[in-house]
Chain A
Amino acid sequence: MIDSFLTPLFLDLLGINILLGVSWYIPASCGQFSFGHCGLIGVAAYLSGAMTTLLGVPFPLAILAGMGISSLAGMLFSAIGLKSKDAYAAIMTLALAQIAVVAFKAIPATGGVMGFLVTPKVTPGIVWAGVLISLLFTYRLESSRLGRTFEAIKTSNKVSATLGINATYFKIIAFGIGGAMAGLAGVLYAHCISWIEPHTFAVWLTVTSFTFVLLGGWETMWGGVAGAILLTFLLEVMRFASAWRPMIYGVLIIAVLAFRPTGLVTRGNVRSAGRFFSRINRFMLRNR
């Protein structure tokens, strides 16, 4: 069984899932729920796939292009949605996703409904390089002033406004960053599974992304990571029941949120872990 955990495919998917979780977490960290995440992912996937396979563009460039377009799309659609308050921003991203799928089906060059084959295949090395860079970036973000501002906005729009914080501006930034990360995930995903079709980027991807975060813990970035790791392993172990996967997700969401609404990894957990590690650090330095 251990062998199935070490296949390149599994390692790729694990890394990509972590990216999905963290990319969903970033807008969520300032209170914004991206329900069109699959659209952001899909747009980057299709663009990158088309660029490398149909136009022969080198892969690194395609990655950047994918991240760019997802970032822009995220910012655009959230900006429009935020004109009418947060709840609509979430729905706007949903609109993006739906329009994207229709667009994908309609473009003949990429195979329409049937989809197409995407050429350069990623290695786990590339995927995990991306994952590590993103995790580092997000970690830096969380502990910076920007991260603190996000948290303030998540706690209360109104109170933040009285401190002079323009919530809309920061939420758009969050969508820009989260979008770019989702784009990275999308590109890597496309070049991992190789055959992409419009249906791949239907609502299910959004559900997986936020399940990772809501289950794993939405207070800190590590929740998304934990949720992604947990669920990826869980589903690999339960491969025989893959037909029931959506239901398992559904039951988990309801159960976990009923008993531990903040998700599994809370801010307290992260802080305790931080103290634990720093104590070990001091101990080891003392015994040098």
Chain B
Amino acid sequence: MLEIKDVTKNFGGVSAVSHVSIKVEKGEIRGLIGPNGAGKSTLFKLVSKVLKPDGGAISFDGAVITGFPSYRVARLGIGYVFQDSLLFGGMTLFENMLVCANTAVNSGLLSLIPLYQGKEEKRLKERVRDVLEQFNLGTKAEFYPRQLSYGDQRRALIARTVINGASLFLLDEPSAGMNAIEREELSKDILEMRRQGHTIFIVEHNLRLIMGICDSISVLNFGKLIHEGTPKEVTSNAAVIEAYIGTKNG
């Protein structure tokens, strides 16, 4: 579903991502791990087009997306939830979910005409309610982001991307800052998303989380892909172990 071919990104003289090729199959949960600075976040930014690659090509569902601006990629179905993502503080949780480019419900000037959207608007609101239920946030729909727990906020971000109609999810360290219970909730949510047919590509430092839910894992170090395989294979691979133990962050 997502094909990253020989992609490179340089910053000044440093190669953050160097000739990386990864293929993510539809419906799988793929992990991306590696020591700090290995280029994981950069790779995600390249796929979601926040950054432009210096070399290589990226295609999604068969279509090449290398030249696209980030909002277009989002509309095609790539949902990028990054570490500094935030919910819009001035709106309730429910309103946050309504903000999206769901093209069936127009956001342009025509939306100013009352009743124009009628049925579409209703359908969207139904969908929002369903997804919030799925993520166990239904009772908190009228809360403001600052009233939600940290774990709830991070999961709400993922929920918002689901409502936006994403089919491929790029989750950059979604469990950062969560406690063990919240992490369990997160795992359950991700597995449920996979059950609904979505594809998930996830960067994580918490190895237990990754090993628990991923079908396969890609490992980066110094911008290069050093290994790919099932969780079991990866944990016993020599190069991977060396990459982790050989760095100060172990």
Chain A contacts to B: CB under 8 angstroms: 137, 140-141, 144-146, 148-149, 151-152, 155-156, 158-167, 170, 173, 219, 267
Contact = CB atoms under 8 A, between A and B. Distances in A.
A137 B114 CA distance: 12
24 contacts: A140-B112, A144-B112, A145-B107, A145-B111, A148-B99, A151-B88, A151-B90, A152-B99, A156-B86, A158-B70, A159-B85, A161-B71, A161-B74, A162-B79, A162-B81, A163-B71, A164-B100, A164-B164, A165-B71, A166-B69, A166-B72, A167-B71, A170-B107, A173-B108
Contacts of B101: 163-166
B88 A152 contact: yes
Nearest to B157: A159
Contacts of A156: 86, 88
B86 A163 contact: no
A146 B74 contact: no
A62 B71 CA distance: 39
B175 interface: no
Given A145-B105, A146-B109, A151-B90, A162 B74 contact: yes
A156 B48 CA distance: 16
Nearest to A176: B109
A160 B82 CA distance: 12
Interface string B65-97: 000011110110001111001101111000100
B98 interface: yes
B160 to A, nearest CB: 7
Nearest to A266: B90
Secondary structure of the B contact surface, majority rule: loop
Contact of A161 (B70, B91, B108): B70
Contacts of A173: 108-109
A160 B70 CA distance: 10
Interface of B: 48, 50, 69-72, 74-75, 79-82, 85-86, 88-91, 95, 98-101, 105-109, 111-112, 114, 117, 160-161, 164
A166 B89 CA distance: 20
B164 A163 contact: yes
B156 to A, nearest CB: 13
Q: Which 8 A-B pairs have the closest CB atoms?
A: A164-B101, A164-B74, A164-B75, A145-B111, A161-B70, A161-B71, A166-B71, A152-B99
A166 B79 CA distance: 15
Nearest to B79: A162
- Report which residue of B98, B101, B107, B114 has the largest number of chain A beta carbons within 10 angstroms of its beta carbon: B107
Contacts of B70: 158, 161-162
Given A162-B80, A170-B107, 17 more contacts: A140-B112, A141-B112, A148-B91, A152-B88, A155-B89, A159-B86, A161-B70, A161-B74, A162-B70, A162-B82, A164-B71, A164-B75, A164-B100, A164-B101, A164-B164, A165-B71, A165-B101
Given A148-B91, A152-B88, A152-B99, A162 B48 contact: yes
Contact of A163 (B74, B108, B117): B74
A159 to B, nearest CB: 6
Nearest to A268: B90
Nearest to B170: A162
Nearest to A166: B71
- Report which residue of B69, B72, B100, B160 has the largest number of chain A beta carbons within 10 angstroms of its beta carbon: B100
Contacts of A148: 91, 95, 98-99
B76 to A, nearest CB: 9
A133 B204 CA distance: 53
B107 A158 contact: no
Nearest to B49: A161
A155 B88 CA distance: 7
